[in-house]
Amino acid sequence: MSFTQEYQLIDNPSIVKKPPQLKKQKIIKYSLLVLTIVSLGIASFSILKKENEILVEEKIIIKDNEGEKILIKAKPRLDKYGVDLNVNVLDGIYTMGFNNDVEAKVEDWKLYTPPCPYLQPVKHADNDINPVCEKSSLQIANFEKNNGKDLPYVMPLNTISNQLEKWKEWEKKNETILYGNQSVKELVENKYHPFDYGYTGENTENITDKKYYNNVINSRMDEVPDPRRRRLFSFILFNAEYDLLDLYLSEYYDIIDYFVIYESNTTFSGNPKPLYFTRTLLETDRYDKFKDKLIPLPVKIIVDEDNGRGKGFPKEHLARRTVIEKGLRSVHARHGDLFMHGDLDEMPKAHVLSRLKKCGGWEHLQAGIGGGPKSFKNGNVDSYFINPNMNVTVNGKGEYNVDYSRNYSISFLSWFHEYSFNIIQNSKVGTVAHPNLSIFDARRSLGQLNERKNYNKRDSVSSYSDPLLDPNFDIYQGYTYTDNTNDLKKGKGYIGEYLRFDTSKVPELKGKKKATIWNSGWHLSSFLPTIDQFYNKISSYSHFQSYGKKSEETIKKDIINRIKNHQYIYGSKKKYNSVNSTFPLSYENGYEYNFNYDYWNERITSKNNDIGFKKYINDMKREIPTQVWKHPICYSFMIDRDYGIDKKLWWQVIPKEDWKTVKFEELDSEIIDQLVSPNYPESLKKQMLKYLNI
């Protein structure tokens, strides 16, 4: 059998529907028209990059009432599968220059911090990246005991191939399962939890990635790709946190397929701002090692309303909605792909992400019984976006009343750190449940009713037309909201920001029967290198109002005092706890994990006081991201904040012209001692210097 028939991908060129072009940003065009152009000095030029690579197509400088602006417009940049990574920059977008100077380069920006000279994708241990799924497990917070502070539940994982077999067996039994009503304890029991990936094809293991993913991104939305090769996307918001983004990209490059990075040309408090990420990506080599997975999403914010908590939050809500919808479109999401949405400073642990991506057996926690889209070609399925006779109603906010899943997402129970890893809100239990992770559902996207509801079984409705033959049918309509001009929820559809909300109240997760992945991430709140960065952050975020109308000087003093006293950065000066991170013993091997199901299950169920296990758990709670412990010179301020405020950081000691070429291992040991936090273990430091020297 030929590949195309076997995997149900595009088997008839006449009905191939090209993924729709992203809707042109109408609003942007509109506002260009009304722009009062005082003088128009066009300086169109291409930036020649090394290896003759040209990413920025044109830069046009205009002058209007608000001052000088620069248009950033890129050329298409196709990756090896055919995804256009520049899809969101093709129309061009205006932005102010760095330091308000349209000629300035990003390195000239007064808050610019250079990348660590050793910045590159982290090589995670093979065990972590390719887990042995049959024996592996997932830890889920147990809120029944001591508010989640005790040991978690342990849930067995399995290979997706085995899960596909089990589903076939289960389906023959003609039983019903109602996940919607199950408690977390039931959901994680050691037994088969039926889940339908919707995939009926063969194992695609012998098809090359290039060929396989090229077919996936061009496939019809009602076809299901091989779940063993599902992709994982991250949709994040960026302001100007260069150091955090470096950390994020290096930690996940190996695991995440695409990063869609939202940034707007004004802050959430409404002030114009440069497009820091987009321009750095297109105009410098900072992201060259990551570029083939980076999709910039520069946007203009159009909401301007006060929801009672200020004007910032409505802007933030719409930003979240936008990055999810546009993110899914940019990556050509298909049924079963995974996506997460959070902020840049919300970092799930890499070993958890790999298990979720590569192993099966957890999906019902989010998607209930699952199931794939039905092929419109067979004519027995319909879309409620085009057939009003299906009588699908919407709730008060415009969400379709359809029961596709247990819920929109599951989340990572994360440790909330403020300023640095040595300061924590609560050292006993994670206190934020971010980011949220979701399985992309093509049925929702296409407006198909699911066959099995979590509460009931549903019959499908018969139909005659194939909407995928209609070039005007939007295959992402189900992940779109029809009115994004305001935060009043007057439209219809999917409200992306709900993927995240309702998460800060961790104690309520118990009552809501929400499965939350235990010890699975870090919230790196305000991990910023200098006081100017802090000021920049608080003045551009939704919380700014809480500082009142004080002078910059006074606010900076306030922040420094808070940092010194380990107090929360906003509002009342709540004091946080001090902790010590754990570091790996071996620089080369990193932390060593054991997620073997039996190992965990035996220790959780036995009353024996296994000291080794206790230590393992405690160490795991205080682990930190790889890039940080591997490069303590670059990230000293993240290891120990008291250090970072009073002492100089590496790029304040090393002259600018040496930033790219400096070799830390050749520095004087005195300088190294000054640059590495005293909390960093001596033995690891020795190993590091030796290692960097190789």
Ligand X SMILES: *[C@@H]1O[C@H](CO)[C@@H](O)[C@H](O)[C@H]1NC(C)=O
Of 179 and 252, which CB lies nearer to ligand X in the complex structure? 179
Q: At closest approach, how far in Å is the CB of 678 from ligand X?
A: 9
Taking CB under 6 A as the criterion, which residues in 416-435 touch ligand X?
433
Query: Would you count residue 448 as binding ligand X (CB under 6 A)?
Result: no
Return the range that interacts with ligand X (CB under 6 A); candidates 106-114, 389-397, 550-558, 649-657: 389-397
Taking CB under 6 A as the criterion, which residues in 643-662 touch ligand X?
none
Of 153 and 664, which CB lies nearer to ligand X in the complex structure? 153
Taking CB under 6 A as the criterion, which residues in 198-217 touch ligand X?
202-203, 205-206
Query: Would you count residue 383 as binding ligand X (CB under 6 A)?
Result: no
Backbone angles phi, psi at 20, to 5 degrees: -65, 145
Of 113 and 503, which CB lies nearer to ligand X in the complex structure? 503
Residue 355 DSSP class: H
Tell me the two tokens of residue 618.
Answer: 């405690």
Query: Would you count residue 455 as binding ligand X (CB under 6 A)?
Result: yes
Of 646 and 668, which CB lies nearer to ligand X in the complex structure? 646
- Of residues 106, 247, 381, 499, which one binds ligand X by CB under 6 A? 499
- Of residues 46, 580, 606, 618, which one binds ligand X by CB under 6 A? 580
Query: Would you count residue 578 as binding ligand X (CB under 6 A)?
Result: yes
Tell me the sheet residues that pair with 61: 70
Residues 6+ apart with CB under 8 A from 640: 420, 421, 422, 677, 678, 679
**Distance in angstroms (rounded) separating the CA atoms of residues 333 and 337:** 6
Return the range that interacts with ligand X (CB under 6 A); candidates 174-182, 184-192, 342-350, 666-674: 174-182
Q: At closest approach, how far in Å is the CB of 85 from ligand X?
A: 20
Query: Of 146, 135, 149, whose CA–CA distance to 617 is shortest?
Result: 149
Q: Regarding beta strands 232-237 and 338-343, do their DSSP bridges make them parallel or antiparallel, or are they unpaired? A: parallel
**Distance in angstroms (rounded) separating the CA atoms of residues 222 and 466:** 10
Backbone angles phi, psi at 364, to 5 degrees: -60, -20
- Of residues 509, 538, 633, 662, which one binds ligand X by CB under 6 A? 509
Query: Would you count residue 124 as binding ligand X (CB under 6 A)?
Result: no
Query: Would you count residue 389 as binding ligand X (CB under 6 A)?
Result: yes
Q: At closest approach, how far in Å is the CB of 502 from ligand X?
A: 4
Residues 6+ apart with CB under 8 A from 515: 140, 184, 187, 188, 365, 410
Query: Would you count residue 576 as binding ligand X (CB under 6 A)?
Result: no
Query: Would you count residue 498 as binding ligand X (CB under 6 A)?
Result: yes
Query: Would you count residue 671 as binding ligand X (CB under 6 A)?
Result: no
Q: Which residue in the block uniquely carries the two structure tokens 């930033």?
A: 659
**Distance in angstroms (rounded) separating the CA atoms of residues 9 and 224:** 9
Query: Would you count residue 489 as binding ligand X (CB under 6 A)?
Result: no
Tell me the two tokens of residue 218.
Answer: 């061009």
The distance from CA 78 to its chain's CA centroid, rounded to whole angstroms, is 22
Full DSSP string of 410-432: EEEEEEEEESSTTEES-SSS--E
End-to-end alpha carbon distance in the chain: 50
Query: Would you count residue 94 as binding ligand X (CB under 6 A)?
Result: yes
Q: At closest approach, how far in Å is the CB of 264 from ligand X?
A: 8
**Spatial contact of 152 and 142, defined as CB atoms under 8 Å apart:** yes
How many CB atoms lie under 10 A from the CB of residue 196? Answer: 22
Of 37 and 178, which CB lies nearer to ligand X in the complex structure? 178
Of 95 and 142, which CB lies nearer to ligand X in the complex structure? 95
- Of residues 461, 531, 620, 671, which one binds ligand X by CB under 6 A? 461
Query: Three-state DSSP class for 683?
Result: helix
Of 46 and 580, which CB lies nearer to ligand X in the complex structure? 580
**CA-derived radius of gyration, the chain:** 25
Q: Regarding beta strands 516-525 and 410-418, do their DSSP bridges make them parallel or antiparallel, or are they unpaired? A: parallel
Query: Would you count residue 322 as binding ligand X (CB under 6 A)?
Result: no
Tell me the two tokens of residue 217.
Answer: 């991104």
Of 293 and 566, which CB lies nearer to ligand X in the complex structure? 566
**Distance in angstroms (rounded) separating the CA atoms of residues 270 and 283:** 26
Return the range that interacts with ligand X (CB under 6 A); candidates 46-54, 182-190, 385-393, 610-618: 385-393
- Of residues 49, 63, 291, 300, which one binds ligand X by CB under 6 A? 300
Q: At closest approach, how far in Å is the CB of 618 from ligand X?
A: 11
Query: Would you count residue 272 as binding ligand X (CB under 6 A)?
Result: yes
Question: What stretches of 541-596 show up as alpha helix (H) in DSSP?
Answer: 552-564
Q: Which residue in the block uniquely carries the two structure tokens 């002492």?
A: 647
Q: At closest approach, how far in Å is the CB of 486 from ligand X?
A: 18
Query: Would you count residue 139 as binding ligand X (CB under 6 A)?
Result: no
Total number of residues binding ligand X (CB under 6 A)? 43
Query: Would you count residue 73 as binding ligand X (CB under 6 A)?
Result: no
Query: Would you count residue 93 as binding ligand X (CB under 6 A)?
Result: yes
Residues 6+ apart with CB under 8 A from 187: 140, 179, 193, 364, 365, 513, 515
Length of the chain in residues, anyone? Answer: 694
Query: Would you count residue 504 as binding ligand X (CB under 6 A)?
Result: no
**Distance in angstroms (rounded) separating the CA atoms of residues 620 and 349:** 11
- Of residues 61, 96, 319, 624, which one binds ligand X by CB under 6 A? 96
Q: At closest approach, how far in Å is the CB of 407 from ligand X?
A: 4
**Spatial contact of 228 and 161, defined as CB atoms under 8 Å apart:** yes
Return the range that interacts with ligand X (CB under 6 A); candidates 38-46, 152-160, 404-412, 642-650: 404-412
**Distance in angstroms (rounded) separating the CA atoms of residues 37 and 69:** 11
Query: Of 489, 495, 469, 456, whose CA–CA distance to 383 is shortest?
Result: 469
- Of residues 57, 60, 61, 69, which one binds ligand X by CB under 6 A? 69
Query: Would you count residue 481 as binding ligand X (CB under 6 A)?
Result: no
- Of residues 22, 28, 177, 217, which one binds ligand X by CB under 6 A? 28
**Spatial contact of 294 and 89, defined as CB atoms under 8 Å apart:** no
DSSP H or E run through 523: strand 516-525
Query: Would you count residue 174 as binding ligand X (CB under 6 A)?
Result: yes
Return the range that interacts with ligand X (CB under 6 A); candidates 346-354, 497-505, 652-660, 667-675: 497-505
Binding site for ligand X (CB under 6 A): 28, 31-32, 69, 93-96, 174, 178, 180-181, 202-203, 205-206, 265-266, 272, 300, 389-391, 406-411, 433, 436, 455, 461, 498-499, 502-503, 509, 514, 516, 578-580
